A = this chain, B = another copy of it.
Amino acid sequence: MSESRPRIVPEATVARLAVYLRVLAGLADGGRSSVSSGELASAAGVNPAGLRKDLSYLGPCGVRGVGYSVAGLRERLTEVLGGERSRPCVLVGIGRLGSALADYAGFASRGFQFVGLLDSDPRTVGTEVGGLPVHPAEELEVVVARTGATIGVITTPAEVAQAVCDRLVAAGVRSILNFAPVALTVPAGVDVRKVDLSVELQVLAFLDQQRDGSAPVVTALRADARESVR
């Protein structure tokens, strides 16, 4: 049961709402009861005006001349991001990166929850990571069916990523987060999001090189994934 009028929230805003939620949790722990956009923005590493616009997509949730109620805003963001319940999520490929992600399930950030871990290495299968047992890769379909997972995370080697993806989709998963360095092909209606850690480093290396004096090519350096510099 959500009340306020349904507006359109840009994807870039959704990502920042998750950050605001985390900052608010910290403020609440510190006993704070209200915040201004300026303070919240600086803690989140964004521009205050941008933060206010982000929040405005959820309808008015602050008090003019005063600021935002920490508890109230936190509740509103949780409602919007998490929905009523966390969405069940399976993770395929429990290597180092997969394990790191599984641990994130511990402080289960709102919105998702790992309900199944899968791996093809017999030495990993049967162990526990982040409080969950690792199942053999063959059981992928069974685990997805049993848990009703609609989200899948792929942290396998690149060679098997497409095959895993196909099986996830066939099993009913509709949203995929892909950490393998390949472009996945999926049928329409399935949403794939990609994170490429090595590319992040290469971009940073490129920008670093640019400033080192002898820059062969010049970049437009824009505030993209860049944080506040004060």
| Residue positions of A touching B, CB distance < 8 A | 2, 6-12, 14-15, 18-19, 22, 42-45, 57-58, 79-83, 86-87, 89, 95-97, 99-101, 103-104, 109-112, 150-151, 153, 174-178, 181, 183-188, 190-209, 211-212, 215-222, 224-230
Contact = CB atoms under 8 A, between A and B. Distances in A.
Contact of A96 (B97, B202, B211): B97
Copies of this chain in its oligomeric complex: 2
Contacts of A80: 206, 216-217
6 contacts: A19-B183, A44-B183, A97-B97, A97-B100, A112-B201, A187-B229
A103 B110 CA distance: 30
A225 B193 contact: yes
Contacts of A216: 2, 6, 79-80, 83
A96 B87 contact: no
B175 A208 contact: yes
Find the residue from A151, A177, A185, A227 having the highest chain B CB count within 10 A: A227
A229 B111 contact: no
Nearest to A79: B216
Given A101-B201, A191-B211, A193-B200, 16 more contacts: A6-B216, A6-B217, A9-B219, A10-B219, A11-B220, A11-B224, A22-B181, A83-B216, A96-B103, A150-B212, A185-B230, A186-B229, A191-B204, A191-B221, A192-B226, A193-B227
A139 to B, nearest CB: 22
A43 B188 CA distance: 17
A12 to B, nearest CB: 7
A23 to B, nearest CB: 8
